[in-house]
């Protein structure tokens, strides 16, 4: 029989891409549940903005910042050095959320976009997972990848992005089998269209018009908000889902159905 997962009153989550959009909403949600949060991303100013929001929710909890470019070859070593420097001793969940999006078709897309998206969307999660895995193994923790409905079914004008997310999904399921031996769970959420800075319409002057047009494509009648993802993401990381691994959960207003 395997040892039960140990839970402490100070559970800790590390979230990449925590300076904006879905990652920021996840950080605030976990802080609200009284978790310690490690915020990972490239822009310190964006991480500081999220830190302030988290502090409002959980003034007594440690909010840590780990500025890191996940697309670089030394990202794993830098994350390991950060863990060592900060003396982080325990981690219960890692959320591989950071990602980039670009449009492009097969015959015309810039190959540099393929390389960049592969570095950020596939190798980024791999690098962070390798760096934090010893702590996750120790806590019998959880990994959650934020993928995309486009990783399940690509579209002609998002080929590099869709392929990168499909690779992420494939890796997650393969690794879930291996990590299960350590009691570590690996799950994936595939969001549909969510209103965040990843989309050019997010800051556009005619945003409401665009949202109205997109609304009609969504079975549940609206584009998502980052907060639409937080409860189920939390459930997949927290105690209560100890028997769930390799899951691929669509949270997308039903768009994968049409």
Nearest to 91 by CA among 153, 190, 170, 15: 15
When binding is defined by CB under 6 A, the residue of 11, 20, 36, 76 that contacts ligand NAP is: 20
Token pair of 16, please? Answer: 């990449």
When binding is defined by CB under 6 A, the residue of 12, 13, 15, 23 that contacts ligand NAP is: 23
Name the minimum Å distance from CB 4 to ligand NAP. 32
Secondary structure (DSSP) of 145-165 = EE--GGGTS--TTBHHHHHHH
Rg of the chain taking only CA atoms, in angstroms: 18
When binding is defined by CB under 6 A, the residue of 46, 58, 135, 238 that contacts ligand NAP is: 46
When binding is defined by CB under 6 A, the residue of 129, 139, 196, 245 that contacts ligand NAP is: 196
Whether 161 is a known active-site residue: answer yes
Asked if 157 contacts 195 with a C-beta cutoff of 8 angstroms, the reply is no
Question: Interface with ligand NAP includes 191 (CB under 6 A)?
Answer: yes
Question: Interface with ligand NAP includes 43 (CB under 6 A)?
Answer: yes
Three-state DSSP state, 26: helix
Name the minimum Å distance from CB 22 to ligand NAP. 4
Token pair of 243, please? Answer: 């028997």
When binding is defined by CB under 6 A, the residue of 5, 32, 33, 42 that contacts ligand NAP is: 42
Measured torsion, CA atoms of residues 160, 44, 238, 243, in degrees rounded to the nearest 10: 30
Determine the length of the chain: 258
Site for ligand NAP in 100-129 (CB under 6 A): 100-101, 120, 124
Q: Which positions touch ligand NAP (CB under 6 A)?
A: 16-17, 19-23, 41-43, 46, 68-71, 97-101, 120, 124, 146, 148, 191, 193-194, 196-198
């Amino acid at each position: 029989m395997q040892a039960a997962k140990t839970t402490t009153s100070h559970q800790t989550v590390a979230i990449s891409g925590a300076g904006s959009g879905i990652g920021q909403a996840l950080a605030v949600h976990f802080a609200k549940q009284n978790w310690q949060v490690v915020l990972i991303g490239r822009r310190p100013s964006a991480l500081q903005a999220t830190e302030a929001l988290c502090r409002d929710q959980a003034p007594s909890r440690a909010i840590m910042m780990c500025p890191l470019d996940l697309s670089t070859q030394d990202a794993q070593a830098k994350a390991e050095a950060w863990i060592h420097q900060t003396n982080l001793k325990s981690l219960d969940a890692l959320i591989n959320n950071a990602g980039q999006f670009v449009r492009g078709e097969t015959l015309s897309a810039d190959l540099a976009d393929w390389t960049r998206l592969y570095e950020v969307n596939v190798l980024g999660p791999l690098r962070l997972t390798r760096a934090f895995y010893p702590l996750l193994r120790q806590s019998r923790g959880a990994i959650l990848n934020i993928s995309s409905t486009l990783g399940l079914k690509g579209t002609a004008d998002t080929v590099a992005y869709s392929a990168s997310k499909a690779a992420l999904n494939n890796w997650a399921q393969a690794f879930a089998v291996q990590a299960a031996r350590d009691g570590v769970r690996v799950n994936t959420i595939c969001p549909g269209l969510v209103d965040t800075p990843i989309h050019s319409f997010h800051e556009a002057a005619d945003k409401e018009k665009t949202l109205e047009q997109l609304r009609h494509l969504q079975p549940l009648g609206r584009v998502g908000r980052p907060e639409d993802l937080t409860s189920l993401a939390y459930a997949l990381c927290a105690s209560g889902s100890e028997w769930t691994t390799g899951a691929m959960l669509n949270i997308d207003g039903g768009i994968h159905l049409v």
